[in-house]
Amino acid sequence: MGNDFRSRMPVTEGRVLVTGGSGFIGRRLVAALADAGTEVTVADLKPFPGSAEAGSPGPSVQVLGDLCDPEIADQAVAPGTDTIIHLAARTSVLESVKDPQTTYRNNVALTAGLLELARQRRVRTFLFASTNAVVGNVGGAVITERAPLRPLTPYGATKASSEMLINCYAASYGVRGVSLRFSNVYGPGMQHKDSFIPRLMRAARDGTGVKVRGDGTMIRDVIQVDEANLPGSPEEWEWAAEGMNVVLDAIPTVPAVHLCFGNYGGQTIQKGSWGRLIDYLNKLHVNHIVMENAHRPPEELAVFRELRPEIGFGLGVVDIKQTVVESADAIARAIEHADKVLGVGRVKYIHPDCGFWMLKRGIADGKIRALVLGRDLYEGRN
């Protein structure tokens, strides 16, 4: 896709080192960088999975081994490295409580060693995968960058320590440092992980229970690893559909799935094939698919004729990426076009594309009025 997220990934002037690049988050990042033409080194205990022949761009160089070993770190931060993206870490909170010394070694000592190599070899940028665990328990409050550091576990403390080291190297030596505090990351490819969401999905799949720690009132933020589930890892569509159907079958009203084509700016950020997407959608136990169409090429609708005839459509006919208010006639024409392409009666709902909150109130009100008037015009209401 011409405007794919990966094709818009900025290319740096030199090599990018991704530590932990063979992991759950790392392999997606590496593929995106490599696809954009960036020279990437992966340093990990495990080889990078996949290959370019299989449609998965990989690193230019792989360094296998423990980055706490000075020789391995020296190979990884080779001369010419422009950016270090540091994902490698011991991430289990429970393991950090059991073995804080190893967690310190793999998190703080490792980060300190990389920062020193970055200083010596004039690496310009150091991006660090931190965690919201550095702020501890904030109750129901919103976590922001200004939240004080109050970690409650060795894991959170090691990440907070690493953040402070990065700040020191930025202030003292000019290494440009950024710490990204991830919440709980989930998505395809995490079946092996022991965090709560994969445990919950395995329990749903297998018909078993899942242990909840505490009294069940905890609130956690989550973030999807690709921003758009299936197209980020199309080879896992069958596993994704099984998990989705567990949820869909439990819906007491009208089950539907939202198909997101892009982000709020209108760019396509997914990668995959129409064939796998249609296979995935056809396997879902849904009444209809909620689609964003207003900012998409009209001819794309034809692909969805391959869906099972009993699957209907919720059609996006209001473009939230434009501030111009649609006319009732334009809304009616969009519905008419969909009927011609998909078949009369398959459009069950019409709605705005998602992201309506970005519009000013007056514009949003005008677009909703146009939506109603366009529907009435199409249906011949007075």
pLDDT, greater one: 203 or 266: 203
pLDDT confidence of residue 131 = 85
What percentage of the chain exceeds 90 in pLDDT?
Answer: 39
Domain membership of residue 163 (yes or no) is: yes
pLDDT bucket at 52, cuts 50 / 70 / 90: very low
Domain membership of residue 367 (yes or no) is: yes
pLDDT confidence of residue 206 = 83
Domain membership of residue 92 (yes or no) is: yes
Domain membership of residue 204 (yes or no) is: no
239 shares its domain with 365: yes
pLDDT, greater one: 295 or 175: 175
pLDDT bucket at 10, cuts 50 / 70 / 90: very low
Q: What average pLDDT does the structure give for the chain?
A: 82
What is the count of structural domains for the chain?
Answer: 2
Q: What is the mean pLDDT of residues 128-156?
A: 85
119 shares its domain with 245: no
pLDDT confidence of residue 261 = 61
Q: What is the mean pLDDT of residues 246-274?
A: 70
Over residues 324-364, the pLDDT tens digits come to 999 999 999 999 999 999 988 899 999 888 777 778 889 99
Domain membership of residue 206 (yes or no) is: no
Task: Please check the confidence at residue 307 and state whether its pLDDT lies above 50.
Answer: yes
24 shares its domain with 96: yes
Residues catalogued as catalytic: 155
Domain membership of residue 192 (yes or no) is: no
129 shares its domain with 256: no
Domain that holds residue 46: 6-185
Over residues 90-124, the pLDDT tens digits come to 888 888 999 999 999 999 999 999 999 999 999 99
pTM: 0.58
273 shares its domain with 164: no
pLDDT confidence of residue 263 = 45
162 shares its domain with 266: no
234 shares its domain with 329: yes
Domain membership of residue 212 (yes or no) is: no
Strand order in the sheet with 15-19: 61-64, 40-44, 15-19, 81-86, 125-131, 176-182
Q: Residues with Cβ < 8 Å from 310, sequence gap 6 or more? A: none
Q: Which CATH number belongs to the domain containing residue 368 in this structure?
A: 3.20.20.210
